[in-house]
Structure 1
Amino acid sequence: MGMAPLLPLTLDEASKVLEWPIGVSMALSELAQGPAISRVSSGEALLDYIVEMRHRGGMRDAKLPARAVQGMGLFFRELVPEDFCRGFFGSLLPAMAQLALRLSALVKDHIDGSVSDRFPSQLDFLQLRALPAGQSGMVLLSQELVASILACGFFCLYPSAERNKLDLPDLNFYKLFMALVDENREESAKHKIICLLHYFQIVCESVPQGMISYERKVLSLEQEMEDPLSFWSSSSRPLCQILVMEDGTIEGSDTPVLEVDFANRVLGGGVLGAGCLQEEIRCVINPELIAGRLFLPAMQDNEAIEIVGTQCYNRYEGYASSFRFAGKFFDNKARDAWGRKETHIVAIDALPFPGEAQFDAALMLRELNKAYCGFLVHQSIQCGGSSESARGVATGNWGCGVFGGDHEVKSMLQWLAASEVSISMSQKFMLWDDEKPLQAGRPFLLYYTFKDPRTTKLQRIADWILEQKWSVLELWSVLIEYGKGRKYTKVGFFDWLLPD
Structure 2
Amino acid sequence: MGQEASKRKGANETPSAKDKNFVHLPNTIAWWKDFKGFLADVQAVKFLTLDHFAASFAENDPFKEAKELTNLKKACTLSVNSPVNEKELMEEMLPWLAGKALAVEELFVEDGKHGLLKKLSKFKSGKITLSRQQVCTLMALAFFNAFDVQGPTFNHFSLLNILTISNARSQRSKMLCLFQYFSRLMEAEKKDKDFMNMQLSFERLVLRSAPDWSNSDQPMGVLLSCSGLIEDNHEALQADFANKFIGGGVLTLGNVQEEIRFVISPECLVSLLLFEEMEPNEAILITGAERFSTYSGYGNTFEYTGPFVDSNPVDSEQRRCVNIVAMDAIVAGYGGDEFCPELINRDMNKAFVAFSADTSMDKPENKAPVASGNWGCGAFGGNVELKTLIQWMASTMAGRPLHYHTFSSKELAEQQQEIVKLINEKKVTLGQLYQCVIKMDGKESPFSVVRQTFDNQN
1:115 maps to none
Secondary structure (helix, strand or coil) at the match of 2:370 reads: strand
For residue 312 of structure 1, report the CA deviation from its aligned partner: 1.0
Q: What TM-score, normalized by structure 1, do the two folds share?
A: 0.79
Tell me: CA distance 1:86–1:231, structure 2 relative to 1, closer, same or farther (3 Å): same
> What CA deviation, in whole Å up to 9, does each residue of 1:80-120 have, x standing for no partner?
68971121112111111111111221114x878xxxxxxxx
Distance in 2 of aligned mates of 1:475 and 1:63: 56
DSSP 3-state at the match of 1:237: coil
Match of 1:235 in 2: 216
Contact 1:238 1:470 in 2 (8 A): yes
Does structure 1 residue 466 correspond to structure 2 residue 429?
Answer: no
Partner residue of 1:329 out of 308, 315, 319:
308
Letter in 1 for 2:232: G
Q: Does 1:137 align with 2:94?
A: no
Instruction: Tell me which of 363, 374, 377 is aligned to 1:397.
Output: 374
Give the secondary structure class of the aligned counterpart of 1:347: strand
**In the alignment, is the contact (CA less than 8 A) between 1:128 and 1:140 conserved in 2?**
no
Query: Deviation per CA, 1:36-91, whole angstroms, max 9, x where unpaired?
Result: x2x2511x433333333333xxxxxx22165x545445545655689711211121
Q: Which residue of 2 aligns with 1:244?
A: 225
- Residue pairs, 1:31-430, within 5 angstroms: 31-34=42-45, 37=46, 39-42=47-50, 44-55=51-62, 62-64=63-65, 69-76=69-76, 78=78, 84-108=85-109, 128-160=117-149, 163-164=150-151, 167-180=153-166, 182=167, 186-207=168-189, 208-221=196-209, 231-245=212-226, 247-254=227-234, 256-354=235-333, 355=335, 357-377=337-357, 386-387=362-363, 390-420=367-397
Determine which structure has the larger helix proportion and give its number: 1
Q: Hey, what's the Cα distance between the residues in 2 that align with 1:146 and 1:459? A: 42
Contact kept? 2:440, 2:446, Cα under 8 Å: yes
Q: For residues 367 and 4 of structure 1, what CA distance do their matches in structure 2 show? A: 30
Aligned-partner Cα distance in 1 for 2:357–2:22: 31
Q: Once the two structures are superposed, what CA deviation does each residue of 1:328-360 show, in whole Å capped at 9, x if it has no partner?
A: 111111111111111111000011234561011
CA contact (8 A) 2:25 2:117 kept: no
Q: Closer, same or farther in 2 for the Cα pair 1:20/1:144, shift >3 Å?
A: farther
Aligned-residue CA RMSD in angstroms? 2.5
Q: Amino acid of the residue matched to residue 133 of structure 1? A: K
2:435 alignment partner in structure 1: 477
The answer to whether the 8 A contact 1:6-1:294 is kept is no
Amino acid at match of 2:49: S
Distance 1:305 1:414 in 2: 17
Instruction: Report the Cα distance in structure 1 between the residues aligned to 2:347 and 2:188, rounded to whole angstroms.
Output: 41
Q: Aligned pair in 2 of structure 1 residues 70, 88: CA closer, same or farther (>3 Å)?
A: closer
User: Which amino acid counterpart does residue 409 of structure 2 have in structure 1?
Assistant: D
Aligned residues: 422
Cα pair distance change 1:235/1:40, threshold 3 Å: farther
Whole-angstrom distance in 2 between the partners of 1:73 and 1:325: 16
Q: Where does residue 447 of structure 1 map in the other structure?
A: 404
- Distance in 2 (CA, whole Å) between partners of 1:171 and 1:377 is 25
Query: Larger deviation: 357-366 or 89-98?
Result: 89-98
The structural deviation recorded for 1:498 is 2.7
2: CA distance, partners of 1:23 / 1:482: 62
Question: Aligned partners of 1:473, 1:48: CA distance in 2, in Å?
Answer: 63
Cα distance in structure 1, aligned partners of 2:203 and 2:23: 21
Unaligned runs of 5+ in 2: 1-17, 190-195
One-letter amino acid matched to 1:97: A
| Structure 1 spans left out of the alignment, 5+ residues | 12-18, 56-61, 113-126, 222-227, 421-439
Post-superposition Cα deviations, 1:203-229, rounded to whole Å, max 9, x if no partner, equal 1221422111100011134xxxxxx7x
Name the SS of the counterpart of 1:304 in structure 2.
strand
